[in-house]
Amino acid sequence: MAKEQESGPARRAGDRGRYGRLSRERVLAAALELVDREGLSALSMRRVGAELGVEAMALYRYAASKDALLDGLVEALYLELEERLTAEPGAPAATEAPAWRTGLHRIARTTFDVCLVHPRAVPLLTTRMLAVPLARRPASVLRNHERVLALLAEAGVDEATAATAFRAFTAWLLGYVSVELQPMVDNPEESDPAFRLGVHRMPAQELPRLRRAAAALAEGGGLEGLTAGLDALLDRHVGGPRRV
C-alpha cells in the first residue's frame, strides 16, 4: 500500500537527478542526446527521466507534454544554430557578394552543419512547423526568422518580395537538408555498391531510371549543392552580385 502511494500522482516529483538539479536546458539536452543515439521513436518522458535519474513527473515543469518536448528539441537545435552564428562571426571574405547574400549563405551552411550533427532530430524542423503556428514557435526559431528577414531587408527589396524570398529560402534549406539526410544504404556490410544500395530490390522494368541514378543520389550534393541552389533562388527573387 505504501508503495502504491509513493508511485501515485500525489507523490511530489523531485527536480534533482543523478547529475544535479534539473533545468529546462538540461532536460532538452538529455532529450536531444537520446534522440541522437536512438532516434525519435525512443523519445518519451519516461526515457528522458531515466537519462537524468528522475521520475517522468519531474519533467513536466520543464515540458508540459510530449508535444512540448518535441518543440523543445526544435528550440535546442535553433539555439545551437544561434550559438554557432554568434560565436563564429566569420572572417571577411574576399568576395564581390553583398553582406546580405553572404549572411544568408552563412545561415544556410551553419544550419546544414547543425543538421549533420543531429540528423535524427531533423524531421522535427518540418513536422513541428506544420503543427505550431508562427507566433507559438520557440523564441530561438523566431529569432532565426527575424535574422533572415533582416538580411533580406538589407538587399533593399520591399516587404512582399522579402516574404517571398524568405519562404523560398526556408523551403530550399529545409527541403535540401531533408533530402540530403535520407537513408540510402540498404546493407552497409555489402562492398558491392549495387547490393549496398539494394538496387536489386527495385524492379528493373518498372524503375530503370531510378536504378541507374541510385548511386549518384546516394552521393548527395553536400554544401556545394546547397549553395548552388541558394544562389539560384536568390538570383530569381532578389538579384545582386552572387560571388560568395
Query: Is 9 inside a domain boundary?
Result: no
Question: 28 is in which domain, residue-wise?
Answer: 14-64
Same domain (yes/no): 60, 81 = no
> Within 13 Å, how many C-alpha atoms sit on residue 61's CB side?
12
Reported as a single tens digit per residue, the pLDDT across 174-199 is 999 999 999 999 999 999 999 999 99
Grid cell 524492379 in the structure block, residue: 203
Query: Is 71 inside a domain boundary?
Result: no
Count up the domains in the chain and report the number: 2
Same domain (yes/no): 144, 54 = no
Residue 56 has pLDDT above 50, yes or no: yes
Same domain (yes/no): 102, 212 = yes
Reported as a single tens digit per residue, the pLDDT across 124-169 is 999 999 999 999 999 999 999 999 999 999 999 999 999 999 999 9
CATH number reported for the structural domain that contains residue 60 in this entry: 1.10.10.60
Residue 243 has pLDDT above 60, yes or no: no
Same domain (yes/no): 131, 197 = yes
d(CA 177, CA 227): 12
Query: Is 242 inside a domain boundary?
Result: no
Query: Is 5 inside a domain boundary?
Result: no
CATH number reported for the structural domain that contains residue 109 in this entry: 1.10.357.10
Same domain (yes/no): 222, 121 = yes
pTM of the model: 0.85
Reported as a single tens digit per residue, the pLDDT across 11-33 is 344 565 555 589 999 999 999 99
Mean pLDDT (the chain, rounded): 89
Same domain (yes/no): 57, 81 = no
Same domain (yes/no): 43, 82 = no
Cβ atoms 173, 122 nearer than 8 A = no
Q: Which of 26, 69, 74 minimizes the C-alpha distance to 51?
A: 26
Same domain (yes/no): 56, 83 = no
Kindly list the distances between the CA atom of residue 50 and the CA atoms of 10, 54, 60, 223, in Å, as whole numbers in the listed order: 20, 6, 14, 37
Query: Is 201 inside a domain boundary?
Result: yes
